[in-house]
Structure 1
Amino acid sequence: MRATFASDPDKARGRLVPEEESTFRSCYQRDRDRIIHSSAFRRLKHKTQVFVEHEGDYFRTRLTHSIEVAQVARTIAGALGLNSELTEAVALAHDLGHTPFGHTGEDALHALMEPYGGFDHNAQAIRIVTALERHYAEFDGLNLTWDTLEGIAKHNGPVTGDLPYALAEYDARHDLELHTHASAEAQVAALSDDVAYNNHDLHDGLRARLFTEEEIAELPLIGVAYREVDAAYPGINSYRRRHEALRRVFGVMVADVIETSRNALAQSGARSPGEIRHLGHPVIRFSPGMWQDLREIRHFLFNRMYRAPSVMRKRAEVTKVVEELFPLFLDRPDLLPRHWAREIAAAGQDRTALARMVADYIAGMTDRFALQEHERLTRIG
């Protein structure tokens, strides 16, 4: 049964370009389907999560991560009586704006774009779904509902202060009420992101041999899970033992979000999506104890995985790739795709406009394509 504070597709706040709605899909289903069929979503297959895409077939990519986030989000939304279709749409779109090479690529591109308004992957996701996807006859972008766009823009909370240019541009045309919290569905997508990466980064770090099972068994939640598995399945092989333990941790995180959020929603007294947005605080959250345990796990992962010597060496290599591609395209816009020629001509001597085109191009690259283009163009140079 859907809760009164759940987003109702029949009361959705419409699309920037009015369309006749489907007779057999809700507007949120249609948003989700457009995201899945977008070029940007397909490219996530070859964008890194932590490891560079070609380093191993078993490591998570942005695509597999987004699918895992959506799965968690559907589960939590269903348990809380929320709209699972809107939740899934936001979850699937939340990483569309990521550059090649993950946060390393984003950091490099943001530094290069500092004189031109900076770069932010959440804002870039909005730019992709409102402008850069160009497949439809009647509009640029995907023409998603306001509700889905709001969720993509502010699933992590209100966006205030100096807005990233990509978000400011669209918000000036279509007010996303950035000063408020997002719907409960979008908040679920945000917490599901935390659940997913806390789980799969442990899996990937073990597979990469950056740490051992004995070491993570000293961490909160994980040691208890290993002891439960050892008691239930004595003598189980190492791979199955690891999977059984970490899936228990996964389940504990999801159960904690559901229970804590159910109580928070009841205590809030909110009776509509609008009231959720104006509470002044999120209603989808971990319990304080779980949050503290996860902080300890994230601290471990930061030191042993994200800042591991092998990862840092690769970070330096791919940072150089972005740092060398950006000025090359900025000085030689003729190297950009031919179908951008009209926009390049319109930019003329406006270096900011040109820099933003270059940022769009580089941000859209997969890991593999960025490496190939760097090798090709620097060899030519």
Structure 2
Amino acid sequence: MLAPYACDPDRSRGRRHPEPPAPTRNAFQRDRDRVIHCTAFRRLVYKTQVFLNHEGDLFRTRLTHSLEVAQLGRSIARPLGLHEDLVEAIALAHDLGHTPFGHAGQDALNACLHEDTGPAAQEPRGEAEPHGGFEHNLQSLRVVDELEERYPAFDGLNLCFETREGILKHCSRANAQWLEAREPGGVGHRFLTGRSPSLEAQLANVADEIAYNAHDIDDGVRSGLLTLEQLEAVPLFETFRREALAEHPALRGRRLLYEAIRRMLSAQVYDVIDATRRALRDAGVQTLEDVCASPPLLGFSGGMRAASAELKRFLMTHLYRHPQVMETTGRARRVVADLYRAYCGDPALLPPGARRAGLSLRRQVADYIAGMTDRYAIREHERLTGERLFA
């Protein structure tokens, strides 16, 4: 039932290390299963979305977020004739490289890697490490290509090109050049030539946006930092709150919130399906090569894109930059920065399993910290510094 422009596992560009096919699973199913069983995937249950893991049992984590992205992705993939297993594999793997403490941890680690003081910063960059800084998409790729240690014949998970391409949804030019030097014509190539990834990869990216906008509303209200009254100022949400009340006048509280979010999610899913069908038709797309040679084709209509952007601005102002969230993320950045400086100052603090040949000390430290869960980073920081920054 695949569309002619979908990725076909029988025509995959293959794995970096050749393997015989599985007898009962296609190549993309196999990738999905490898992601689910890897160590980095299990760690996502204790990694932050917006609210730190210790702040409540019902807030989203990177794991539950990834599951929601996978579900939304499959819901859109089927009516478009795209390969559902590939969309799911990309969705489940897209955050494997995220640091503890969400974007606060990522920003802190990126800043540390750009520091130009101390002996670790004077080391030359290793041949097997990225150009510089910390990019969580590139780190997710490095997890599945290098850092997972599960198989006797190779490092990483040895995923298909199509899955790896979808995981790397953003990449700096410098790191794309580094990838291209290691793998000519590989997953970094499109960032140098302006080509587009598969529709499955584009879909995983859009599903990610749909998921986090919706669940951040839910978590924001659950936390008490957002109210339904505040959300009345957001047209994308308010439209469906009013629609839910018109049909169920007695609806209040969490049931009203859930129903409005459910309707909002459905509207965005249907909008992406319809807008993408129009874009494919208007561009005359017939093959996967047509997809890659075209600008991105899968996404919202103009009206829905504007409404989604307005919701993002609301969340940035009222949730992500809320004083309570900012105070917590400030402490999270300090944990990451203190750990980085401690390990770089005394490499003996690193466990033996964190040392990897071909990498500078600072990159080994970054890999180790990026793999931590929130609670492990908090405990390790307290052990090394004697300070308790979180209850």
* Aligned with 2:307 (options 293, 312, 321): 293
1:10-35 deviation per Cα after TM superposition (whole angstroms, max 9, x unaligned): 00011110000101100000001001
* Equivalence map 1:201-350=2 (5 Å): 201-279=216-294, 281-340=295-354, 343=356
What letter matches 1:8 in structure 2?
A: D
**Which residue number in structure 2 is paired with residue 109 of structure 1?**
109
Query: Is the CA contact (8 Å cut-off) linking 1:261 and 1:283 kept in structure 2?
Result: yes
Kindly tell me: are residues 160 and 309 of structure 1, through their superposed partners in 2, closer, same or farther at Cα, counting changes over 3 Å?
closer
Return the alpha-carbon distance in structure 2 between the equivalents of residues 375 and 161 of structure 1. Answer: 37
Which aligned pairs between 1:94-243 and structure 2 lie closer than 5 A? Answer: 94-115=94-115, 117-154=132-169, 159=171, 161-163=173-175, 168-169=178-179, 172-173=182-183, 175-176=186-187, 177-179=189-191, 180-243=195-258
Matches of 1:331 and 1:55, distance apart in 2: 31
2:39 equivalent to 1:24: no
Contact 1:6 1:273 in 2 (8 A): yes
Show structure 2 runs of 5+ residues with no match: 116-124, 126-131
- Structure 1: distance between partners of 2:181 and 2:6: 24
Distance in structure 1 (CA, Å) of the matches to 2:44 and 2:63 = 5
Q: Give yes or no for the alignment of 1:73 onto 2:80.
A: no
Distance 1:265 1:171, change over 3 A: farther
Q: Does the 8 Å contact 2:104/2:329 carry over to 1?
A: yes
- Amino acid of the structure 2 residue aligned with 1:319: R
Partner of 2:377: 370
Tell me if the contact between 2:354 and 2:368 (Cα under 8 Å) persists in the aligned partners: no
Return the alpha-carbon distance in structure 2 between the equivalents of residues 136 and 277 of structure 1: 32
Q: Does the C-alpha gap of structure 1 residues 262 and 13 become closer, same or farther in structure 2, counting only changes over 3 Å?
A: same
Contact 1:15-1:143 within 8 A present in 2 as well:
yes
8 Å CA contact retained: 1:70, 1:88: yes
Distance 1:162 1:142 in 2: 25
Instruction: Quote the Cα distance in structure 2 between the aligned partners of 1:275 and 1:107.
Output: 36
| 1:269 Cα offset (Å) | 1.4
Picking from 347, 350, 368, the partner of 1:361 is: 368
1:288 Cα deviation from its structure 2 partner? 0.9
Aligned AA (1:295): A
Deviation per CA, 1:162-214, whole angstroms, max 9, x where unpaired?
Answer: 227xx835761362223321100000000000100111011011111112101
One-letter identity of the residue aligned with 1:372: R
Which residue number in structure 1 is paired with residue 122 of structure 2? none
Confirm or deny: 8 A CA contact 1:152 1:186 kept in the other structure.
yes
Shift of residue 236, structure 1, vs aligned partner: 2.3
Report the more deviating stretch, 329-338 or 81-90.
Answer: 329-338
State the partner residue of 1:14.
14
TM-score norm. by structure 2 comes to 0.91
Mapping of residues 45-84 of structure 1, within 5 Å: 45-84=45-84
**Number of aligned positions between the proteins:** 367
Q: Which amino acid aligns with 1:363?
A: A
SS of equivalent residue, structure 2 residue 151: coil
Q: Which moved more, 1:127-136 or 1:145-154?
A: 145-154
- TM-score calculated relative to the size of structure 1: 0.93
Q: Counterpart of 1:316 in structure 2: which amino acid?
A: G
Residue in 1 that maps onto 2:129: none
Root-mean-square deviation (CA, aligned residues, Å) is 1.6
In 2: Cα distance, 1:227 partner to 1:162 partner = 48
> What letter is aligned with 2:313?
H
- Residue 163 of structure 1 aligns with an amino acid whose one-letter code is N
> Unmatched 5+ residue regions in structure 1?
none
SS at match of 1:221: helix
CA distance in 1, matches of 2:362, 2:49: 26
Whether the 8 Å CA contact 2:15–2:161 is kept in 1: the answer is yes
SS where residue 25 of structure 1 aligns? Answer: coil
AA of the residue aligned to 2:218: H
* Residues 127 and 170 in structure 1, CA contact (< 8 A), matched pair in contact too: no
Partner Cα separation in structure 1 for residue 108 and residue 181 of structure 2: 25
- Opposite residue 161 of structure 1, the aligned amino acid is R
Q: Distance in 2 between matches of 1:100 and 1:171?
A: 30
Partner amino acid for 1:66?
S
